Structure 1
Amino acid sequence: MSSANKNLSVFSTDNLPDISTRRFALVVAEWNEEVTEALFEGAYQTLLNHGAQPDHIIRANVPGSYELTTAANWLAQRADIDAVIAIGCVIQGETKHNDYINHAVAQGLTNVSLKTNKPVIFGVLTPNTQQQALDRAGGIHGNKGDEAAITAIKMLKLSELVNE
Protein backbone atom coordinates (compact mmCIF):
# COMPACT_ATOMS: atom_id res chain seq x y z
CA MET A 1 0.00 0.00 0.00
CA SER A 2 1.41 3.39 -0.89
CA SER A 3 1.79 5.97 1.84
CA ALA A 4 -0.71 8.15 -0.06
CA ASN A 5 -3.37 5.77 1.25
CA LYS A 6 -1.94 5.11 4.69
CA ASN A 7 -1.38 6.92 7.94
CA LEU A 8 2.30 6.32 8.77
CA SER A 9 1.59 6.65 12.49
CA VAL A 10 -0.72 3.62 12.61
CA PHE A 11 1.21 0.40 13.19
CA SER A 12 1.19 -2.58 15.49
CA THR A 13 2.81 -2.08 18.86
CA ASP A 14 2.04 -5.57 20.11
CA ASN A 15 4.83 -7.28 22.04
CA LEU A 16 7.36 -4.46 21.88
CA PRO A 17 10.42 -5.11 24.05
CA ASP A 18 11.50 -3.13 27.08
CA ILE A 19 13.76 -0.38 25.73
CA SER A 20 14.43 1.41 29.02
CA THR A 21 18.10 0.40 28.93
CA ARG A 22 18.56 0.79 25.17
CA ARG A 23 20.41 3.71 23.63
CA PHE A 24 19.42 5.38 20.40
CA ALA A 25 21.11 7.85 18.09
CA LEU A 26 18.96 10.09 15.94
CA VAL A 27 20.86 11.66 13.06
CA VAL A 28 18.94 14.62 11.66
CA ALA A 29 19.57 16.45 8.39
CA GLU A 30 19.29 20.22 8.67
CA TRP A 31 18.23 20.61 5.01
CA ASN A 32 14.40 20.87 4.78
CA GLU A 33 14.43 21.71 8.48
CA GLU A 34 10.67 22.24 8.81
CA VAL A 35 10.16 18.64 7.74
CA THR A 36 13.13 17.03 9.50
CA GLU A 37 12.36 18.71 12.83
CA ALA A 38 8.82 17.33 12.70
CA LEU A 39 10.19 13.86 11.86
CA PHE A 40 12.68 14.12 14.74
CA GLU A 41 9.93 15.12 17.18
CA GLY A 42 7.83 12.17 16.06
CA ALA A 43 10.68 9.70 16.47
CA TYR A 44 11.83 11.17 19.79
CA GLN A 45 8.33 11.17 21.30
CA THR A 46 7.63 7.65 20.09
CA LEU A 47 10.82 6.38 21.71
CA LEU A 48 9.90 8.11 24.98
CA ASN A 49 6.31 6.84 24.81
CA HIS A 50 7.60 3.27 24.53
CA GLY A 51 10.03 3.46 27.44
CA ALA A 52 13.29 4.99 26.22
CA GLN A 53 15.03 7.22 28.72
CA PRO A 54 15.66 10.81 27.55
CA ASP A 55 19.34 10.58 28.49
CA HIS A 56 19.63 7.42 26.33
CA ILE A 57 18.74 9.32 23.17
CA ILE A 58 21.54 11.14 21.37
CA ARG A 59 20.85 13.66 18.64
CA ALA A 60 23.39 14.52 15.96
CA ASN A 61 22.72 17.11 13.27
CA VAL A 62 24.23 16.93 9.79
CA PRO A 63 24.00 19.52 6.99
CA GLY A 64 21.95 17.40 4.58
CA SER A 65 20.68 13.92 3.88
CA TYR A 66 23.84 12.90 2.04
CA GLU A 67 25.81 13.26 5.28
CA LEU A 68 23.47 10.93 7.21
CA THR A 69 25.52 7.90 6.19
CA THR A 70 28.82 9.10 7.64
CA ALA A 71 27.27 10.25 10.91
CA ALA A 72 25.26 7.02 11.20
CA ASN A 73 28.47 5.06 10.69
CA TRP A 74 30.30 6.96 13.41
CA LEU A 75 27.44 6.55 15.87
CA ALA A 76 26.69 2.91 15.08
CA GLN A 77 30.31 2.03 15.83
CA ARG A 78 29.92 3.29 19.39
CA ALA A 79 29.50 0.44 21.85
CA ASP A 80 26.89 2.41 23.80
CA ILE A 81 24.51 2.83 20.83
CA ASP A 82 21.98 0.06 20.12
CA ALA A 83 20.20 1.56 17.10
CA VAL A 84 20.50 4.55 14.78
CA ILE A 85 17.63 6.39 13.15
CA ALA A 86 18.57 8.55 10.16
CA ILE A 87 16.13 11.40 9.50
CA GLY A 88 16.12 13.44 6.31
CA CYS A 89 14.04 14.73 3.43
CA VAL A 90 15.02 14.97 -0.23
CA ILE A 91 12.33 16.56 -2.40
CA GLN A 92 12.27 15.67 -6.11
CA GLY A 93 12.55 19.21 -7.47
CA GLU A 94 13.68 20.00 -11.01
CA THR A 95 16.99 18.13 -11.06
CA LYS A 96 17.98 14.50 -10.61
CA HIS A 97 20.01 15.22 -7.47
CA ASN A 98 17.40 13.40 -5.42
CA ASP A 99 17.94 10.21 -7.43
CA TYR A 100 21.63 10.23 -6.64
CA ILE A 101 21.28 11.35 -3.05
CA ASN A 102 18.44 8.97 -2.14
CA HIS A 103 20.19 5.99 -3.71
CA ALA A 104 23.50 6.81 -2.02
CA VAL A 105 21.88 7.33 1.38
CA ALA A 106 19.78 4.16 1.19
CA GLN A 107 22.78 2.07 0.13
CA GLY A 108 25.07 3.76 2.64
CA LEU A 109 22.73 3.21 5.59
CA THR A 110 22.25 -0.43 4.58
CA ASN A 111 26.01 -0.87 4.49
CA VAL A 112 26.42 0.72 7.93
CA SER A 113 23.80 -1.60 9.37
CA LEU A 114 25.42 -4.68 7.87
CA LYS A 115 28.91 -3.58 8.91
CA THR A 116 28.00 -2.81 12.52
CA ASN A 117 25.31 -5.50 12.93
CA LYS A 118 22.98 -2.87 14.40
CA PRO A 119 19.65 -1.51 13.22
CA VAL A 120 20.17 1.62 11.12
CA ILE A 121 16.76 2.92 10.15
CA PHE A 122 15.96 4.82 6.94
CA GLY A 123 13.74 7.68 8.15
CA VAL A 124 14.27 9.72 5.00
CA LEU A 125 11.32 11.11 3.08
CA THR A 126 11.62 11.08 -0.72
CA PRO A 127 8.53 13.04 -1.83
CA ASN A 128 7.84 14.85 -5.06
CA THR A 129 6.71 18.08 -3.37
CA GLN A 130 7.06 20.05 -0.14
CA GLN A 131 3.38 19.42 0.60
CA GLN A 132 3.85 15.66 0.31
CA ALA A 133 6.74 15.94 2.77
CA LEU A 134 4.65 17.92 5.25
CA ASP A 135 1.80 15.43 4.88
CA ARG A 136 4.22 12.69 6.02
CA ALA A 137 5.88 14.72 8.77
CA GLY A 138 2.91 15.09 11.09
CA GLY A 139 0.31 15.98 8.47
CA ILE A 140 -2.56 13.99 7.01
CA HIS A 141 -0.48 10.85 6.56
CA GLY A 142 0.92 10.84 10.09
CA ASN A 143 4.60 11.04 10.89
CA LYS A 144 7.30 8.89 9.27
CA GLY A 145 9.43 9.66 12.35
CA ASP A 146 6.99 7.63 14.47
CA GLU A 147 7.31 4.74 12.06
CA ALA A 148 11.11 4.96 12.06
CA ALA A 149 11.23 4.78 15.87
CA ILE A 150 8.89 1.78 16.00
CA THR A 151 10.98 0.11 13.31
CA ALA A 152 14.11 0.59 15.44
CA ILE A 153 12.38 -0.92 18.46
CA LYS A 154 11.09 -3.90 16.47
CA MET A 155 14.50 -4.52 14.94
CA LEU A 156 16.07 -4.54 18.41
CA LYS A 157 13.51 -7.16 19.45
CA LEU A 158 14.33 -9.27 16.39
CA SER A 159 18.04 -8.89 17.15
CA GLU A 160 17.42 -10.28 20.62
CA LEU A 161 15.58 -13.28 19.18
CA VAL A 162 18.17 -14.20 16.56
CA ASN A 163 21.12 -13.64 18.88
CA GLU A 164 19.84 -15.76 21.79
Structure 2
Amino acid sequence: MPNEYRPAPDDAAKSARYAIVAAEWNRDDITQPLADGAVAKLTEAGVPDEQIDLVWVPGAWEIPVAVQRLADTCRYGAIITLGAVIKGQTSHDHWINHGVTEALMRIATEHSLPVQFGVLMVNSREHAVARAGGEKGNKGAECAEAAMQMVALLKSLPTS
Protein backbone atom coordinates (compact mmCIF):
# COMPACT_ATOMS: atom_id res chain seq x y z
CA MET A 1 0.00 0.00 0.00
CA PRO A 2 1.47 3.42 -0.92
CA ASN A 3 1.83 6.29 1.50
CA GLU A 4 -1.10 8.62 1.00
CA TYR A 5 -1.23 12.26 2.02
CA ARG A 6 -4.37 14.31 2.56
CA PRO A 7 -5.07 17.64 4.23
CA ALA A 8 -4.32 17.39 7.95
CA PRO A 9 -7.44 16.97 10.08
CA ASP A 10 -6.37 19.68 12.54
CA ASP A 11 -6.84 23.43 12.58
CA ALA A 12 -3.93 24.24 10.26
CA ALA A 13 -6.16 26.04 7.79
CA LYS A 14 -7.90 28.11 10.48
CA SER A 15 -4.67 29.26 12.07
CA ALA A 16 -2.99 30.32 8.81
CA ARG A 17 -2.85 33.85 7.50
CA TYR A 18 -4.28 34.48 4.02
CA ALA A 19 -3.76 37.25 1.49
CA ILE A 20 -6.24 38.02 -1.24
CA VAL A 21 -4.86 40.06 -4.13
CA ALA A 22 -7.67 41.43 -6.29
CA ALA A 23 -7.76 43.65 -9.36
CA GLU A 24 -9.64 46.96 -9.21
CA TRP A 25 -10.42 46.66 -12.94
CA ASN A 26 -13.98 45.25 -13.23
CA ARG A 27 -14.44 45.67 -9.47
CA ASP A 28 -18.12 46.61 -9.33
CA ASP A 29 -19.65 43.51 -10.82
CA ILE A 30 -16.80 40.98 -10.94
CA THR A 31 -13.82 41.32 -8.61
CA GLN A 32 -15.67 42.69 -5.58
CA PRO A 33 -18.07 39.72 -5.58
CA LEU A 34 -15.07 37.39 -6.04
CA ALA A 35 -13.30 38.99 -3.07
CA ASP A 36 -16.49 38.89 -0.99
CA GLY A 37 -16.86 35.19 -1.80
CA ALA A 38 -13.29 34.43 -0.78
CA VAL A 39 -13.56 36.34 2.50
CA ALA A 40 -16.90 34.72 3.31
CA LYS A 41 -15.55 31.20 2.68
CA LEU A 42 -12.51 31.84 4.88
CA THR A 43 -14.51 33.35 7.75
CA GLU A 44 -17.17 30.61 7.53
CA ALA A 45 -14.35 28.10 8.03
CA GLY A 46 -13.23 29.89 11.19
CA VAL A 47 -10.40 32.07 9.89
CA PRO A 48 -10.51 35.32 11.90
CA ASP A 49 -10.78 38.60 9.98
CA GLU A 50 -7.43 39.75 11.37
CA GLN A 51 -5.75 36.82 9.58
CA ILE A 52 -7.07 37.92 6.17
CA ASP A 53 -5.35 40.69 4.23
CA LEU A 54 -7.12 42.08 1.15
CA VAL A 55 -4.87 43.91 -1.30
CA TRP A 56 -6.30 45.82 -4.28
CA VAL A 57 -4.10 46.35 -7.34
CA PRO A 58 -5.02 48.32 -10.50
CA GLY A 59 -5.47 45.34 -12.82
CA ALA A 60 -4.60 41.70 -13.47
CA TRP A 61 -1.17 42.62 -14.80
CA GLU A 62 -0.18 44.04 -11.41
CA ILE A 63 -1.25 40.98 -9.41
CA PRO A 64 2.10 39.12 -9.62
CA VAL A 65 4.13 42.06 -8.26
CA ALA A 66 1.93 42.28 -5.16
CA VAL A 67 1.93 38.49 -4.76
CA GLN A 68 5.74 38.42 -4.98
CA ARG A 69 6.04 41.10 -2.27
CA LEU A 70 3.59 39.25 -0.01
CA ALA A 71 5.25 35.87 -0.62
CA ASP A 72 8.64 37.36 0.28
CA THR A 73 7.33 38.17 3.77
CA CYS A 74 6.76 34.47 4.57
CA ARG A 75 3.68 35.54 6.58
CA TYR A 76 1.05 33.70 4.57
CA GLY A 77 -0.15 30.12 4.39
CA ALA A 78 -1.69 30.87 1.00
CA ILE A 79 -2.38 33.73 -1.36
CA ILE A 80 -5.58 33.99 -3.40
CA THR A 81 -5.52 35.96 -6.66
CA LEU A 82 -8.67 37.42 -8.18
CA GLY A 83 -9.23 39.31 -11.40
CA ALA A 84 -10.89 39.21 -14.79
CA VAL A 85 -9.33 39.44 -18.21
CA ILE A 86 -12.05 39.71 -20.84
CA LYS A 87 -11.25 38.92 -24.45
CA GLY A 88 -11.26 41.97 -26.67
CA GLN A 89 -10.69 42.68 -30.35
CA THR A 90 -6.90 42.30 -30.14
CA SER A 91 -4.56 39.68 -28.69
CA HIS A 92 -3.87 41.84 -25.62
CA ASP A 93 -5.81 39.47 -23.35
CA HIS A 94 -3.68 36.52 -24.50
CA TRP A 95 -0.45 38.21 -23.43
CA ILE A 96 -1.86 39.41 -20.11
CA ASN A 97 -3.17 35.92 -19.35
CA HIS A 98 0.11 34.25 -20.30
CA GLY A 99 2.28 36.66 -18.31
CA VAL A 100 0.16 36.60 -15.17
CA THR A 101 -0.20 32.81 -15.22
CA GLU A 102 3.49 32.18 -15.69
CA ALA A 103 4.53 34.70 -13.03
CA LEU A 104 2.12 33.33 -10.42
CA MET A 105 3.21 29.74 -11.01
CA ARG A 106 6.85 30.78 -10.65
CA ILE A 107 6.16 32.57 -7.37
CA ALA A 108 4.19 29.60 -6.01
CA THR A 109 6.89 27.07 -6.82
CA GLU A 110 9.81 29.26 -5.70
CA HIS A 111 8.17 29.86 -2.32
CA SER A 112 6.43 26.46 -1.93
CA LEU A 113 3.37 28.58 -1.32
CA PRO A 114 -0.16 27.93 -2.53
CA VAL A 115 -1.08 30.76 -4.90
CA GLN A 116 -4.68 30.12 -5.90
CA PHE A 117 -5.52 31.25 -9.39
CA GLY A 118 -8.83 33.10 -9.45
CA VAL A 119 -8.07 35.32 -12.43
CA LEU A 120 -10.97 34.74 -14.77
CA MET A 121 -9.99 34.48 -18.43
CA VAL A 122 -13.24 34.78 -20.30
CA ASN A 123 -14.73 35.66 -23.65
CA SER A 124 -17.32 38.10 -22.31
CA ARG A 125 -18.35 40.15 -19.29
CA GLU A 126 -21.38 37.86 -18.95
CA HIS A 127 -19.09 34.84 -18.53
CA ALA A 128 -17.14 36.66 -15.83
CA VAL A 129 -20.27 37.74 -13.93
CA ALA A 130 -21.54 34.15 -14.05
CA ARG A 131 -18.33 33.01 -12.30
CA ALA A 132 -18.38 35.86 -9.77
CA GLY A 133 -21.41 34.72 -7.83
CA GLY A 134 -23.78 34.13 -10.73
CA GLU A 135 -25.02 30.89 -12.23
CA LYS A 136 -21.52 29.32 -12.32
CA GLY A 137 -20.83 29.88 -8.62
CA ASN A 138 -18.15 32.07 -7.11
CA LYS A 139 -14.56 31.43 -8.17
CA GLY A 140 -13.32 33.50 -5.21
CA ALA A 141 -15.00 31.14 -2.76
CA GLU A 142 -13.67 28.13 -4.67
CA CYS A 143 -10.13 29.52 -4.49
CA ALA A 144 -10.46 30.15 -0.76
CA GLU A 145 -11.58 26.55 -0.22
CA ALA A 146 -8.65 25.24 -2.27
CA ALA A 147 -6.26 27.55 -0.37
CA MET A 148 -7.36 26.12 2.97
CA GLN A 149 -7.05 22.57 1.68
CA MET A 150 -3.54 23.26 0.41
CA VAL A 151 -2.48 24.83 3.72
CA ALA A 152 -3.64 21.70 5.52
CA LEU A 153 -2.08 19.37 2.93
CA LEU A 154 1.31 21.09 3.02
CA LYS A 155 1.31 20.75 6.80
CA SER A 156 0.96 16.97 6.43
CA LEU A 157 3.65 16.55 3.74
CA PRO A 158 7.23 15.70 4.71
CA THR A 159 9.70 18.59 4.70
CA SER A 160 12.87 16.59 4.17
| Common fold by TM > 0.5 | yes
What is the CA deviation profile of residues 6-54 of structure 1, one whole-angstrom value per residue up to 9, with x for unaligned ones?
A: xxxxxxxx97652231100000100111200010000110011111110
The letter for the 1-side match of 2:26 is N
The letter for the 1-side match of 2:31 is T
Q: Which position in structure 1 is the counterpart of 2:32? A: 37
Q: Which position in structure 2 is the counterpart of 1:7? A: none
Q: Which position in structure 1 is the counterpart of 2:21? A: 27
Secondary structure in 1 matching 2:86: coil
Q: What TM-score do the two structures reach when normalised by structure 2?
A: 0.89
1:77 aligns with 2:38: no
Q: Structure 2: any 5+ residue segments left out of the alignment? A: 1-6
Check whether the contact 1:76–1:82 (CA below 8 A) recurs between aligned residues: no
Check whether the contact 1:16–1:154 (CA below 8 A) recurs between aligned residues: no
CA gap of 1:99–1:17, structure 2 versus 1, over 3 A, is farther
Q: Which position in structure 1 is the counterpart of 2:90? A: 95
Aligned-CA RMSD value: 1.5
Q: What TM-score do the two structures reach when normalised by structure 1?
A: 0.87
CA gap of 1:163–1:78, structure 2 versus 1, over 3 A, is farther
Q: Which position in structure 2 is the counterpart of 1:153? A: 148
Runs of 4+ residues deviating >2 angstroms: 14-20
Larger radius of gyration: 2
Check whether the contact 1:87–1:124 (CA below 8 A) recurs between aligned residues: yes
Percent same amino acid among aligned pairs? 37
